[in-house]
A and B are shown apart, each in its own frame.
Chain A
């Protein structure tokens, strides 16, 4: 649809007068140009303003549409490609490196504020050189992370934590060449986003599930990893570019439960924290909450969704996030924002689910 037609449709749906168009159009065009048109899951040819107009049109009354419009203008949080790249670029310098500096300062017995002395110490150089960086998912932007941190060697940064035996052997030999024990002094696990933290650590009876829990268990049980990593002597840092407070706490709790004998070995570093008050409260009298409750398609509730323990109106596990990520809207956001194409309800930024329905 041509941009002008989409804008005209939007104005019609919203029952706008010329002054409303004059007030809103420049803002919407700027938002679309700078951010929303970059959403990667729009169908070919679709742009934000058209999606917005069609999304608003599904609400019955103009008042409802105004509430929905207002919600998008005032509460929606959209993290675009540029922002995520920026988070990846600063994760090491702003968050991970200071943790390594603190650790080196402690080992050297130097006050933490004497940054220059710490940086010039062999301890810091050894620690930085023996730190491994692994992506936890495709979203970790390892290529960008690598290019942004030229002080790190390409030999210590990996797309994934699933390393081949050959690579692990090489690493053990290289890092352990001077007798360092354990050879890997710190392990940094990088990821782009966590809303609930359950995919990292999830208690299942007496054990923990989740990708971080499983990976750490491997490092403790597989001989090839045992040569390289030894908890709690190896420091583990889970570095997430965007995470909620709930996710941060759940990851910390999971780590504490996984290895209760020590607290020092594990840290969570988050570049952009999403505070609790960002969530849309089910009990709120915001008129958009009534829309989010009413406009819903129960068919979204498959076996994966059931793990969240609630219906999906406010997203997986009732996440209630007003959040859109440029590559895909997280399912912890409000259903109305991400409803996939083909549902009875239209999503503003339709999500493409990893767990495809087989029905």
Chain B
């Protein structure tokens, strides 16, 4: 297989084969989302929609990656990663301080629940299987951390008796690594035999475990390599926990909480695994600090996080572009992602279009001046302002919006001309942003382009960003191949982004219900309606909706939902949309004296409805109205009524 032409296509951690490639492509910004002391024996839930970067985050803490980092730490781009991990006390110059053992819950675990055993028995088997796999993983990890081979060097491992005096059923301590491996494999085999068995399970040999003994072993640092503990701390990284059944997740959660282990355990799962009330309980809360849960998209999405996400994915993009250039051996002219996107500041290539637009807007303003002399001075002052053609055009369109706003308020005016100073006072960047959006829609000027826009469209989901950036980069690579300019024009960027967003949205029905699809459409149409009102009342536009916190409480209340099918449907729909990252919730926002949950639309939906990329513009509605949208959509009749 040849080198990777377009590293943006390596959208999952699993698709990156070598640890050195993984480190080259890893954006260390995600480490900042972890709470302080995260590797010091905490139980931490890491959640996100698919593609949020959970597995990538876990992989960083595995010994093969950390050892690779140690050997590369003095070179770019590894220096920054090393520095962050050193600060977290994960590595130091002497070696590994943390040994992370990664276990995917994808295989076998869910089949346990097909055995139709009583819950308590099924839970015991789940714990036994977890014990077997965690211990096997730990033995392998201990050897990897000491740069020894598995299984050849197992005899250099010992498992010491636990300080607490606790025993491990069926395993006499102390024992060699080989004995511990045989014990774990035997346990695993017995559970798997039970799963594979077609006969009755009454005589089932394995009784299961009532707690996680493997974690007790790690708590006691009982695994020794050549007589000493291989690192300061253990970290158990459980991935794909959403693959467990609901009952298994509950059991795992309870076992980990009750166990109060000193070993750090990170549980990575998709939001879709959460129940409706659990999902609705998620959401970024400005004031709230860490409480044992990191929702990756929420963490990126709140406050300064958005800027951090933009910076982090910018780093990821540049690293991937660099790798593509290295693969091409200098044959590619695309050594930078940002360099492949024309920032389009001056719209030079659209000069004729802009001049036509200026003429059109000026003519409209002249008509206004004749019909409404009150705006004469505003118009004269604005039409004589100097600037680039684009600045002039935006200034004129902004004036149109401001006049529209004034006309709606000033029904009883005396007809005096408004002073130019008044215009300057009303001119704000938000209105100018709205004017740019209006102009783009009216005169077909590109609006969605540039690195910042692509980062915004990523909507705090790394996979979504990579998909969009990958399509742009692919075309830049294509242009470079045929010796054309590898810098994509704003127009072309917008076309490609529209195509990719459409494809991604077209894929949604596979994951989302009809209710979700109808509701997204309704919200998109509603936001477009509000955004493009001539006076731009919520400039630069509306990109979200809001539900009162009390309504949210009702949607999380099982007894309330059991009394109303419609509310139940709406709650399920909303939870599904949140878990798929279609909406991002921000909780407890203050609006007109009330407290609200704001639901921002995924930015690729905003692109479809030609909405701005910014946050802050949202409209609150009653549950009744929203539930009507879920059933009937946002109708034209309703649009007219508004």
25 contacts between A and B (CB under 8 A): A3-B2, A4-B328, A4-B331, A8-B482, A8-B483, A11-B478, A18-B479, A18-B482, A19-B478, A21-B475, A21-B477, A21-B478, A21-B479, A21-B482, A22-B471, A22-B475, A25-B474, A25-B477, A25-B478, A25-B481, A26-B6, A29-B2, A29-B5, A33-B1, A33-B2
Tell me whether B253 is interfacial, beta carbon within 8 Å.
no
Query: CB distance B475 to A19 under 8 Å?
Result: yes
In the bound complex, CA of A2 to CA of B330 (Å): 13
A20 / chain B contacts, CB cutoff of 8 Å: 478
A3-B2, A4-B331, A29-B2 given; A22·B482 CB < 8 A: no
Query: CB distance B474 to A12 under 8 Å?
Result: no
Tell me whether A50 is interfacial, beta carbon within 8 Å.
no
Tell me whether A7 is interfacial, beta carbon within 8 Å.
yes
Tell me whether B189 is interfacial, beta carbon within 8 Å.
no
Which residues A2-54 have CB closer than 8 A to chain B?
2-4, 7-8, 11-12, 16, 18-22, 25-26, 29, 33
Tell me whether B484 is interfacial, beta carbon within 8 Å.
yes
Query: CB distance B475 to A18 under 8 Å?
Result: yes
Query: Hey, what's the 0/1 contact readout for A143-162 against B, CB within 8 Å counting as 1?
Result: 00000000000000000000
In the bound complex, CA of A22 to CA of B6 (Å): 10
Chain B nearest Cβ from A13, distance in angstroms: 11
B5 / chain A contacts, CB cutoff of 8 Å: 25-26, 29
In the bound complex, CA of A334 to CA of B481 (Å): 32
Query: Hey, what's the 0/1 contact readout for B481-521 against A, CB within 8 Å counting as 1?
Result: 11110000000100000000000000000000000000000
Chain B nearest Cβ from A132, distance in angstroms: 36
Could you tell me which B residues sit within 8 Å of A by CB distance?
A: 1-2, 5-6, 9, 328, 331, 471, 474-479, 481-484, 492
B483 / chain A contacts, CB cutoff of 8 Å: 8
Query: CB distance B478 to A18 under 8 Å?
Result: yes
Query: CB distance B477 to A22 under 8 Å?
Result: yes
B479 / chain A contacts, CB cutoff of 8 Å: 18, 21
In the bound complex, CA of A133 to CA of B630 (Å): 65
Query: CB distance B482 to A11 under 8 Å?
Result: yes
In the bound complex, CA of A286 to CA of B556 (Å): 61
In the bound complex, CA of A25 to CA of B328 (Å): 14
Task: Report the 10 A-B pairs with minimum CB-CB distance, sorted nearest first.
Answer: A21-B478, A18-B479, A22-B475, A22-B478, A18-B478, A22-B474, A4-B331, A11-B482, A18-B475, A33-B1
A4-B328, A22-B477 given; A12·B1 CB < 8 A: no
B481 / chain A contacts, CB cutoff of 8 Å: 4, 7-8, 11, 21, 25
In the bound complex, CA of A187 to CA of B409 (Å): 97
Could you tell me which A residues sit within 8 Å of B by CB distance?
A: 2-4, 7-8, 11-12, 16, 18-22, 25-26, 29, 33
In the bound complex, CA of A4 to CA of B325 (Å): 12
Chain A nearest Cβ from B407, distance in angstroms: 45
B482 / chain A contacts, CB cutoff of 8 Å: 8, 11-12, 16, 18, 21
Number of A-B contacts (CB under 8 A): 49
Smallest Cβ-Cβ distance to B474: which chain A residue:
A22
Chain A nearest Cβ from B498, distance in angstroms: 13
Smallest Cβ-Cβ distance to A3: which chain B residue:
B2
In the bound complex, CA of A345 to CA of B69 (Å): 55
A8 / chain B contacts, CB cutoff of 8 Å: 481-483
In the bound complex, CA of A4 to CA of B333 (Å): 12
In the bound complex, CA of A19 to CA of B493 (Å): 11
Chain B nearest Cβ from A350, distance in angstroms: 23
Query: CB distance B474 to A26 under 8 Å?
Result: yes
B475 / chain A contacts, CB cutoff of 8 Å: 18-19, 21-22
The residue in B331, B476, B478 that gathers the most chain A C-beta atoms within 10 A of its C-beta is B478
In the bound complex, CA of A96 to CA of B20 (Å): 49
Chain B nearest Cβ from A22, distance in angstroms: 4
B1 / chain A contacts, CB cutoff of 8 Å: 33
B492 / chain A contacts, CB cutoff of 8 Å: 19
Chain B nearest Cβ from A165, distance in angstroms: 50
In the bound complex, CA of A25 to CA of B470 (Å): 14
In the bound complex, CA of A8 to CA of B477 (Å): 11
A21 / chain B contacts, CB cutoff of 8 Å: 475, 477-479, 481-482
In the bound complex, CA of A12 to CA of B328 (Å): 19
Q: Which one of B6, B9, B331, B484 contacts A18 once the chains associate, using CB atoms below 8 Å?
A: B484
The residue in B331, B471, B492 that gathers the most chain A C-beta atoms within 10 A of its C-beta is B331
A29 / chain B contacts, CB cutoff of 8 Å: 2, 5
A26 / chain B contacts, CB cutoff of 8 Å: 5-6, 9, 474
The residue in B9, B474, B476 that gathers the most chain A C-beta atoms within 10 A of its C-beta is B474
A4 / chain B contacts, CB cutoff of 8 Å: 328, 331, 481
A3 / chain B contacts, CB cutoff of 8 Å: 2
Chain B nearest Cβ from A254, distance in angstroms: 44
A25 / chain B contacts, CB cutoff of 8 Å: 5, 474, 477-478, 481
Chain B nearest Cβ from A268, distance in angstroms: 37
Smallest Cβ-Cβ distance to B485: which chain A residue:
A18
A2 / chain B contacts, CB cutoff of 8 Å: 331
In the bound complex, CA of A2 to CA of B332 (Å): 13
The residue in A18, A19, A21, A29 that gathers the most chain B C-beta atoms within 10 A of its C-beta is A18
A18 / chain B contacts, CB cutoff of 8 Å: 475-476, 478-479, 482, 484
In the bound complex, CA of A2 to CA of B482 (Å): 15
In the bound complex, CA of A33 to CA of B1 (Å): 6
In the bound complex, CA of A29 to CA of B475 (Å): 15
Chain A nearest Cβ from B566, distance in angstroms: 45
In the bound complex, CA of A274 to CA of B547 (Å): 60
Given A22-B474, A25-B5, A26-B5, list of 19 further CB < 8 A pairs?
A: A4-B481, A8-B481, A8-B483, A11-B478, A11-B481, A16-B478, A18-B475, A18-B482, A18-B484, A19-B478, A21-B479, A21-B482, A22-B478, A25-B474, A25-B477, A25-B478, A25-B481, A26-B474, A33-B2
A22 / chain B contacts, CB cutoff of 8 Å: 471, 474-475, 477-478
In the bound complex, CA of A231 to CA of B346 (Å): 87
In the bound complex, CA of A19 to CA of B484 (Å): 11
In the bound complex, CA of A177 to CA of B106 (Å): 54
A11 / chain B contacts, CB cutoff of 8 Å: 478, 481-482
In the bound complex, CA of A20 to CA of B471 (Å): 12
Smallest Cβ-Cβ distance to A11: which chain B residue:
B482
In the bound complex, CA of A4 to CA of B482 (Å): 10
In the bound complex, CA of A194 to CA of B481 (Å): 42
B471 / chain A contacts, CB cutoff of 8 Å: 22
A12 / chain B contacts, CB cutoff of 8 Å: 482
B328 / chain A contacts, CB cutoff of 8 Å: 4
In the bound complex, CA of A26 to CA of B471 (Å): 11
Chain A nearest Cβ from B213, distance in angstroms: 40
In the bound complex, CA of A7 to CA of B483 (Å): 12
In the bound complex, CA of A16 to CA of B484 (Å): 11
In the bound complex, CA of A8 to CA of B483 (Å): 9
Smallest Cβ-Cβ distance to A37: which chain B residue:
B2
B484 / chain A contacts, CB cutoff of 8 Å: 18
Chain A nearest Cβ from B3, distance in angstroms: 10
The residue in B475, B476, B492 that gathers the most chain A C-beta atoms within 10 A of its C-beta is B475
Chain B nearest Cβ from A346, distance in angstroms: 23
In the bound complex, CA of A12 to CA of B484 (Å): 12
The residue in A2, A21, A22, A25 that gathers the most chain B C-beta atoms within 10 A of its C-beta is A22
Chain B nearest Cβ from A233, distance in angstroms: 40
In the bound complex, CA of A247 to CA of B1 (Å): 36
Chain A nearest Cβ from B470, distance in angstroms: 10
Smallest Cβ-Cβ distance to A32: which chain B residue:
B2
Smallest Cβ-Cβ distance to B480: which chain A residue:
A18
Smallest Cβ-Cβ distance to B329: which chain A residue:
A4
B477 / chain A contacts, CB cutoff of 8 Å: 21-22, 25
B2 / chain A contacts, CB cutoff of 8 Å: 3, 29, 33
Smallest Cβ-Cβ distance to B1: which chain A residue:
A33
In the bound complex, CA of A7 to CA of B331 (Å): 12
In the bound complex, CA of A74 to CA of B526 (Å): 42
Chain B nearest Cβ from A150, distance in angstroms: 22
In the bound complex, CA of A119 to CA of B18 (Å): 47
In the bound complex, CA of A19 to CA of B492 (Å): 9
Chain B nearest Cβ from A76, distance in angstroms: 21
